[in-house]
Structure 1
């Protein structure tokens, strides 16, 4: 049934989730793409950080390792592909100041993530905290350059979008506090 569906399209955009079971299903899609032989572009489900340039702790480490293996499988089979790296979304992590479990904006207290051991938290929170550890402690969002040989910067693809800097975004979050202080 999957093979029949793949034979009817030119492009596949996988939107499977990030849990290991759903990521494993992408290998079936890749095998169907290989068998069908008609796909012009495959976009695997990995919307987020580059799985080949992160160093998260568990439980996110396993997910990123699987994403990297899927990438390698796609390359090994010479499947035309596009990897979308949106990194972290500034409107999720920045307003929370790394506290994935709370709703922003935060004005009263800030918690400090300990040594990065997120294993004692509920599963979804553990995953969020392990990514936060990777971002804030290991700095994986700022330890590489985007160059023309490896990627395209979004601001070049969509110049009509009015982008703001992280500083401008933080200022927008802090403006209610500044107004109250004055």
Structure 2
């Protein structure tokens, strides 16, 4: 039976891109929701604080290296979900130390939400980020903290926006990485947050990796482009970037552009998200929670067609 007990959930990184989705998912599932955020110094930060408070979130303010304060906050909750951005991933070592000292946390979900880091390799710029995630996994396990790791593959709204430019009605060219035939997994951010919160309070997912790979979200670039052409009655010119060129760019571009190319290579050229088969021992989110109607790629394209999103700044690191 699924554990339906409501837990006090603290989101670390609640003011970030995925953090907002995670907060909303926690609240929608009825959990008392807390956020640990940096002290307020700017008007933008103040606006985000007011947003969290308006949703009914209990907000703690502090730095991750304020050990005593962090431990005190942790002792008031049951579950910790981290959504810290890539540059802060190793900062989670401080969080792990505090969780161990607090001694009451029933589950920790570190910030990953991408490729299944223990099963894939990548070109050096991206591999370094994957290795940081592995370090957090091993530190969590060494500390004896109950965990759930979430492999969410790719954020659908983010990457559809990046690949197709749905906001640009004059767009005629679309870049295709490699042959465009490799299969990726594009999951809507709302679903990633839902599955994460559900798994974080589910005994079946304790000390397991939850992989979000529903059938309706496995798609290649070429298939994605064709779906968009059919919806918009437009024909796009496909400009292929060969794999050799991408490998060279990874070696010559400066940070963080080299990481961006390495991620695109790993996901859309090598097909790293679908290159391994799921076994009966794997925990796949859409099968773990079959009653949840996730947003498939085609449905999200329909949303973008009706309401084109704002253009995004490509920040992969």
Structure 1 length as normaliser, TM-score? 0.75
Pairing 1:1-182 to 2, within 5 Å after superposition: 1-19=69-87, 22-93=88-159, 103=165, 106=174, 107-113=236-242, 114-117=245-248, 118-121=250-253, 123-161=255-293, 163-164=295-296
Q: Deviations over 1:31-76 (max 9, x none)?
A: 1111111000111001111111221113211110010111111112
Partner Cα separation in structure 2 for residue 153 and residue 38 of structure 1: 26
Q: Which runs of 5+ in 1 are unaligned?
A: 173-182
Greater strand share, structure number: 2
Equivalenced residues, count: 165
Q: Deviations over 1:112-155 (max 9, x none)?
A: 14242324345343222101111233321112223342322325
Partner Cα separation in structure 1 for residue 267 and residue 76 of structure 2: 40
Q: Which runs of 5+ in 2 are unaligned?
A: 1-68, 175-235, 303-317
Residues 155 and 161 of structure 1 are in contact (CA less than 8 Å); yes or no, is this contact kept in structure 2? no
Partner Cα separation in structure 1 for residue 294 and residue 73 of structure 2: 38
Aligned-pair Cα RMSD in Å: 2.9
Structure 2 length as normaliser, TM-score? 0.45
